[in-house]
Amino acid sequence: MAHPQVVIGVDSSTQSTKALAVDADTGRVLGEGRAPHRVDSRHGQESDPAQWWDALTAAVAATGWADRAQALAIGGQQHGLVTLDATGAPVRPALLWNDVRSAPQAADLVRKFGAHWWATEIGSVPGASFTAAKWAWLRATEPGNADRTAAVRLPHDYLTERLTGTATTDRGDASGTGWWTPDGYHAAVLDRIGLDPALLPAVTPAGTPAGHALPGGPLRPGTPIAAGTGDNMAAALGLGLTTGTPVLSLGTSGTVYTVARHRPADPTGTVAGFADALDGWLPLACTLNCTLAVDRIATLLGRDRQDVEPGGSAVLLPYLDGERTPALPHASGLLHGLRHDTTPGQLLQAAYDGAAYSLLAALDDVLAVDGPEAVDPEQPILLIGGGAQGRAWQDTVRRLSGRPVQLPAARELVALGAAAQAAALLTGERADAVARRWGTADGPVLPALARDDAALERIGTTISQTAVLQGDGPR
């Protein structure tokens, strides 16, 4: 019997590293590994990049296939700022995507060039999460660390470089920095934030090896390493996503996205104009507060996370970490419309509604990038992420969207997308075609529910009032 071609896909997230060993022919998962990360939240959201390498090494070894894998790729958390000195060691802990201390620098960048300029030139209007704003923050608040920086990397770039010795990134992850364009790094942006382009890695084209594994790592020396990409781009590959198919991901943060043929250009900043990992685009909207925030509300109420009740007029905006969509970086949680007969179960349902609202409100904008005719209200939403299996989340999304929901059976889609990239090096296919051959998006479809327009109106009105009261609001 012939031995399978085995590839390894890695998901390096804020909390942990997951690795999957996958049969490149069938998509069958042959082995899994996981190792945790620590996040330091004392001042912002920071993490030591060296522990990501330790976790990657442990997770890849735990798959049981490290010495036999024929290719590997890494999907990593987007936007994180990794600064390295001349020896390749971290200058300081990495600033993670959800560190919002750079909100003033993001606002300055928008004021300097204008939202329409950003949408046209870069494809996205930068917020606090974007790497350009984080570097501007570092330059302004820690100039000594900025001066000591000899290389600037994204999280997946850092890990790929430690595997291969090659300074490389990909178009998908690079598109979340705020300084990448299809024509290269944007000189005006880099000049404004004081970043020398010589500190940045080269962009490796899709389907091209980023390099080969060096001795001393978790793999056999010489193993091909694909370019890798950002976590959202990897998840899109992991689904084998086709143009116009809506995805809603329920994790610590929430995202909605699709694959588009045209480059997004949304001056409101709601839709980020990311590139995908291949040759298309990944219009995406993201919220900071999703499953973790709702679980926190459930804990405060003393209820199980699924123990919701219908009805009630309360609105609960679970903006416990500030919010990205809408752009309220300094917001906190808000409860409005409380009555004598409001029940704890209704409050918990209101938290679900408040978390889902902004994602679903942005969904049509995401889908309309290829034109209004591309929006099909009957097409199921692919519901993924840690919350996707929860009945309360499923029902909330169906009730507020009026759409059916499909539940892909495949798990760990970021790692699967990275595995598809690795497999594509062996087969010569496109990575998304590999995932479609594996059937990763297959799963049951839940029928649509009648859209709850009254709840949508209540929540929308409350958000508008909140933006005015806090002096914040969508750009």
Token digits of residue 16? 């942990």
CA distance 350 to 420: 38
CB 16 within 8 A of CB 78: no
CA distance 159 to 8: 14
**Which of 11, 99, 170, 231 is an active site residue?**
231
Token digits of residue 280? 């298309």
- Structure-token match 């850092």, residue found: 158
216: which residues sit within 8 A by CB, 6+ positions away?
none
475: which residues sit within 8 A by CB, 6+ positions away?
110, 115, 125, 268, 269, 327
**Burial class of residue 140, CB neighbours in 10 A (0-12, 13-18, 19+):** middle
- Going by their DSSP bridges, the two strands 16-23 and 6-12 should be labelled as antiparallel
Number of CB atoms found within 10 A of residue 192's CB: 16
Measured torsion, CA atoms of residues 63, 64, 69, 74, in degrees rounded to the nearest 10 = 20
Number of CB atoms found within 10 A of residue 417's CB: 33
Token digits of residue 191? 């000049």
48 catalytically annotated: no
Radius of gyration of the chain (CA): 21
Task: Please name which of 429, 418, 386 lies closest in space to residue 22, comparing C-alpha atoms.
Answer: 418
**Burial class of residue 391, CB neighbours in 10 A (0-12, 13-18, 19+):** exposed
163: which residues sit within 8 A by CB, 6+ positions away?
72, 74, 211, 213, 214, 217, 219, 225
CB 346 within 8 A of CB 313: no
Active site residues: 231
